[in-house]
Structure formats: structure tokens, C-alpha cells
Amino acid sequence: MSVFQRCVFQRLLQQVSSGARGRNVTSGLVSVSTQCALWRGRATAGAGYRNKSSAPCVKERTFIAVKPDGVQRRLVGQIIHRFERRGFKLIGLKLLQVSKDLLSEHYCQLTKKPFYPDLVNYMTSGPVVAMVWEGPDIVKISRMMVGHTNPAEAHAGTIRADFSFHVSRNVVHASDSTEGAQREIQLWFDGQDLLNWDCIDQSVTSEL
Ligand code: IDP
Ligand code: MG
């Protein structure tokens, strides 16, 4: 081995061991091909959370509920289908009779509104299907899918426009912000009832 070759070899070894330290790998005996894989892994780990426009591709969860009118009218399947069709992932699901206590926490910002007593009667009039869905930007996208609070003003193609016509019976709930989603998910679900699972089409529906 020439001096030049020895220098190149030593340099490679130094790079490999510093790369390995960066990855918390204790052994210094890391092959060059392994190091390349480590660097490639690093590059993709960074890029994996960004889409092609380099905007962050945010993985989020949101709280969706089919309200009592939606359950009574047998719309549960069609509403779930819309979220499945869009490519989102179901993380939690339950059918329940909502208590007034839960509802007053859920709608804590609305308790002073004149329609609040009617809202409580409506929301406790029958079972609700509560769900947690996951996907990139799901809070924003699901609000668009659900449509305007008042179905009379909702765009055609949104759930509220397609299935309802009055603000007091608007079929479905969707969290309005990421903070709201977090609060509502914790309110309606125990952590153990939410399932982390691998969706087989994940790599074809996003770059995550
Ligand atoms: P959102 O459900 O689109 O987020 P919010 O303003 O948070 O709308 O209101 C919560 C729920 O209260 C609505 O979905 C609807 O069921 C009910 N609600 C809102 N405004 C009125 C109203 O003016 N009359 C009757 N019910 C209303
Ligand atoms: Mg709201």
C-alpha cells in the first residue's frame, strides 16, 4: 500500500468512525458501504418530512364525530367512506351516548351562546360516532371536507352541504385547529384506545 493509499484509507476510517459516533454506533469497524448507507439514511430522514415544494409535510391527528342526526339517518358509513377515500388513516372509533358534562367541556367556548341549550339537547338526543383520523394537514383538509358550519352556506361536495340544510342539524363535527384537535382527542379518547398501525398505502399517498 502506497503512502497516498494509506492516507486515503485512514481518512476514510476517520470519516466512518465520526459518522458512526454521530449515529450512536459504538463499533469503529463500520464498512464504507455502511457509512454511505448512514449518510443516505441521514439525507432521507431529513427529506422525509418535506414534500417536493420543500414545505413541511405535517402528520397530524384530528377529532371527527358523526352527530346524532348523522347516526339516526344512517350516514355513518358514507362519512367514514369520505375520509377513507381521501386517504386518511383511522386511528380510533367508538359509538357512545354523550353526557352533558362531556359536551360542556367539548363546547366550552359556546356555553354563553343563545343556541347552546338546544345544542346540548341535539347532541345528547342519541348516539354519536367519535373518531380520530390521521394524515398530513388533516385538520385543515377535514374542515374543508366538512364544510361551513351553516350547511346553507357550505360548498357543494362538502359533507354538510351534501347531507344537511340547517345549522342546528349539521351532521358532523371536525376540530378547527391542531390545538383544538389535541384537546378534543384527549377529552373523548383514552390514549390506549388509539391504535398506531402501518397503513400499507402510506408510501403511495404521501412522501412521509
Ligand atoms: P363548527 O361545528 O363548524 O366548528 P361552531 O361555531 O364551533 O361550528 O359551532 C358548534 C356547533 O354548534 C355547530 O356545528 C352547530 O351544530 C351548532 N351551532 C353553531 N351555530 C349555531 C346557530 O346559530 N344555531 C344553532 N346551532 C348552531
Ligand atoms: Mg367548532
Q: Which of 170, 173, 177, 183 to mutate to test the pocket of ligand 1 (most atoms within 8 A of CB)?
A: 170
The answer to whether residue 17 scores a pLDDT higher than 70 is no
The answer to whether residue 41 scores a pLDDT higher than 50 is no
| 176 Cα nearest atom in ligand 1 | 4
DSSP 3-state assignment of 68? helix
What are the pLDDT digits (tens) for 66-84? 999 999 999 999 999 999 9
* pLDDT number for residue 208: 59
The CATH topology of domain 59-205 is Alpha-Beta Plaits (3.30.70)
* pLDDT number for residue 201: 85
Residues carrying an active site annotation: 173
Lowest mean pLDDT among 143-147, 165-169, 199-203: 199-203
* pLDDT number for residue 3: 46
* pLDDT number for residue 59: 78
Confidence of residue 58 (pLDDT cuts 50, 70, 90): low
pTM: 0.77
* pLDDT number for residue 76: 98
* pLDDT number for residue 204: 86
Ligand 1 center to residue 47 CA distance, Å? 40
Ligand 1 center to residue 115 CA distance, Å? 8
Ligand 1 center to residue 124 CA distance, Å? 15
Going from N- to C-terminal start, the domains of the chain cover 3-51, 59-205
Give 74-143 as a 3 state SS string: CCHHHHHHHHHHHCCEEEEEEEECCCHHHHHHHCHHHCCCCCHHHHHHHHCCCCEEEEEEEEECHHHHHH
Residues sharing a CB contact under 8 Å with residue 184, sequence separation 6 or more, in sequence order: 63, 106, 175
List strands edge to edge, sheet with 172-174: 89-96, 128-136, 59-66, 172-174
Q: Mean of the per-residue pLDDT values for the chain?
A: 80
The answer to whether residue 161 scores a pLDDT higher than 90 is yes
